[in-house]
Structure 1
């Protein structure tokens, strides 16, 4: 009685896999967002402080393939 062999899928090389990137958005984009996330809300409150300098926050809703 022979046992069945397990079929192993070959993994794609790291260079061929899909890479997801998040776009950086500023606080004004976060304020207009219909489904605000915790990260965006935290960023908006930080930007409301006087003298705050922000470079944006990665938005999960603007995920794109590269």
Structure 2
């Protein structure tokens, strides 16, 4: 049998080779003074304004970079 004929196999792109966006995490204080407020930031600010709320920040779409 000859191995020269057949379907060409395409290589799959590894998931580590794809570029992804990276966002900085910002706290509610940053969202409060933001010049261009977004829905995600305003929702986070509202949740953090309640007494006893604990948060670790929210990804800011204005700080998006390629990684």
Whole-Å separation in 1 of the counterparts to 2:11 and 2:38: 34
Alpha-carbon distance between aligned partners in 2 of 1:40 and 1:23, rounded to the nearest angstrom: 12
1:15-44 superposed Cα distances (whole Å, 9 cap, x missing partner): 333211111110011011100001100100
Please name the residue that 2:51 is paired with: 50
Separation in 2 of the partners of 1:27 and 1:49? 12
Backbone CA RMSD of aligned residues: 1.8
**Tell me, which stretches of 5 or more residues in structure 2 are unaligned?**
1-9
- Greater CA radius of gyration, 1 or 2? 2
| Partners of 2:20 and 2:48 in 1: CA distance | 30
More strand by share: 1
Q: Confirm whether residue 61 of structure 1 aligns to residue 62 of structure 2.
A: yes
* 39 and 19 in structure 1: CA distance in 2 versus 1, 3 angstrom threshold: same
- Partners of 1:21 and 1:65 in 2: CA distance: 6
Q: Gaps spanning 5+ residues in structure 1: where?
A: 1-9
